[in-house]
Every structure is written in structure tokens, then in C-alpha cells.
Structure 1
Amino acid sequence: MTIAAHLKTAHDAHQRLFGLVQQYLAGDALKLLARLALAGVFWRSLLTKVQTVGVFNYTEMINDFAVQRSHLRLPELPLTLKPSTLVLFQNDYALPLIPTELAAWMATLAEFTFPILLVLGLLTRLSALALLGMTLVIQLFVYPDAWWGTHALWVVMTVFVAGYGPGRVSIDHWAGTRFAR
């Protein structure tokens, strides 16, 4: 077999393999994964700002001390800001033109609402754009030197979700197909 024939065989195998990857992973699965990853980033941030309640609690022994843990933490409703959140917004996250408490509540409500909408795939593009705006505010006013650390990844995810939409595993898709009839 000639080198050209080996290269053609390798090329054909490559095309078949990545054709399958593209067919199954580059479409709806990737859109769902991007939505879930983006929602997870902002949901975890929410949990640092508000009082939480543990679900599926257990006790772990650490150095002969019983430590209460939870498999899952959820925000306590109604949402209650931790005192440390207001201190952070007053000192570290100080934004121009927006009062501290208002900025803290705006960020908290955004981190509560938009991840839920992303997971459901409801108002997906709007939610992604809102989180893009929030990311840019964080980047420009809170952590201007942290661009390549994390915020660039958030921007890529938000732009992807806003640009390509939620995919077929979403309420947006279901509603669009149902009401388009």
C-alpha cells in the first residue's frame, strides 16, 4: 500500500470518527452542556452571597470532631443576604453610580434567576446576554486584571449560548415548535 493510500485511509477514518462526534456532541448535547456549565458558575456564586439550607445532611468525623455537611446546598427562601456580602460589595466590589445594597441585590437576583432559566432552557438567549453583561461589569469594575483567569471562559460560554440558542432540550425549543404550528 502506498503512502498516499495510507493517508487516504487515515483521513477517511478521521472524517468518520469526527463526523460522529459532531453529530452527537456538537449539536444539542453541547448546547445543553454549555447552559448547565454557565448556570453552575453563577449558581455557585449565588450560594456564597445568601443564607443557605442543606439538603441530604450527614455528619463527617474530622480529627475526632463531628462536622455537619450537606450533599446539596440551596438558597434559603426568601433570599437573605449574608452580612459578608454587603461588606464585599461595599469594599471590594464597589461599583460607580450604584448604591452598595442595590448592587448586592441586583447581582444576587441575577445569580438566582438566570441560572434557573438557563437550566430550564427558558428565555435562554436573554439569560445568557444578561450574564454576559454581568460578567463584563465584573471584569471592568471589580476585577480588571483577572481577564484570562476566568472571565474569558464565561464570555465564551455566554456568547455561545446567546448565539446558538438553547438546543432541542429546552422549553424555548418546545414552545417554539408548539406555537409555530
Structure 2
Amino acid sequence: MTTTKPSTEPGLMHRSRVCRVVAWLERVPYALLAIPLRVALATVFWNSAMVKLADWNAALDLFRNEYNLPVLPPELAAYVAVSIELSTPVLLVLGLATRPAAFVLLAMTSIIEIFVYPQAWPTHIQWAAMLLVLLCRGSGKWSLDHLIRQKWDSAR
């Protein structure tokens, strides 16, 4: 009588472990992944607003002399930029109006990339990738967006 032993071939054992790890990773809920995306992006843009507000005259000088944005006067562009950088991070952290906030920040990132710092594309593409995930998938279940959507759906 022969008994079959489980294969102890190193390649099969390694593949089995890899498959288990991949399966475990695929079960991580999007809601958990969305939180660090929202917080990371909020931090980037909030910090940018804080730098501008720390020395508003220097910020205005940057908009006048370095940024060279088309269409908008430098002063108006500075106010628009800091307004976006102050409001959208709060929305992202709360998970409120996440898709519109992500869209606005994606537009702002595109403007910065095209007109201001095209050489900073490695950073901008990281921001854009995170923003696209939030734009396409939303804020996740642990957000005000989700709570509002639940209330809205139950009211119908």
C-alpha cells in the first residue's frame, strides 16, 4: 500500500504561499484603501495652502513672476488656488463630495503640470493616479458620501 505525501517541491510550496498572499490582499476592502488616498492628497494640498498663507506676499510674487498662468490675473489665480487648497482637503478627509473634489484637484494638478512645473511630472502623475482612483471609485464606505448616499437611497 502506497500513501501519497503532499508535494514538498519548493516551487509548488512557493506558488501556494504567493497565491494565498495575493488572495488575502485582494480581500482588503476598498474603503480601507481609500482612507490613506484621501488623507495623503489632503495633506499635499493643505500644506501648499499653508505655505502660501504663511507669506501671502511671496505667494503673490510667485503667481506674478514665476507661474505665468494664462487667462487669470496673478492675484485672482492665487486666491483661487489657495481657496481650492483649503477647501478640497477638508472635503477629502471627511469623504464629502469626494468625486467633485478629486476632479477639481485633478484639473488643478493638470494646470500646474502644463503651465507651471512641467518638469515635476513624476510627482504630478502620482497625484493624478491617486485622484483618478478617488474620481472613479469614490470615497469608500467610511465617508460622509456613503452615509449621504445611504440616507438618499432609503428616502426613495
Shift of 1:114: 0.5
**1:100 corresponds to:** 74
**1:22 corresponds to:** 26
Please tell me the residue identity of whatever aligns with 1:180: D
Is it true that 1:113 corresponds to 2:113 in the alignment?
Answer: no
Please tell me the residue identity of whatever aligns with 1:134: M
Is it true that 1:45 corresponds to 2:53 in the alignment?
Answer: no
The structure whose residues are more often helix, as a share, is 2
User: Which TM-score applies when normalising by structure 2?
Assistant: 0.88
Deviations 1:10-65 (A, max 9, x none): 222222222222323x52111111111111110110110114xxxxxxxxxxxxxx
Deviation beyond 6 Å, 4+ runs, structure 1? 1-4
Shift of 1:5: 4.9
Residues of 2 paired with 1:153 and 1:160: CA distance? 11
Deviations 1:113-136 (A, max 9, x none): 001000000000110010000000
Is it true that 1:7 corresponds to 2:16 in the alignment?
Answer: no
**1:171 corresponds to:** 144
Q: What percent of counterpart residues are identical?
A: 37
Aligned length: 150
**1:129 corresponds to:** 103
Shift of 1:138: 0.3
Is it true that 1:35 corresponds to 2:8 in the alignment?
Answer: no
Residues of 2 paired with 1:179 and 1:2: CA distance? 54
Residues of 2 paired with 1:91 and 1:159: CA distance? 31
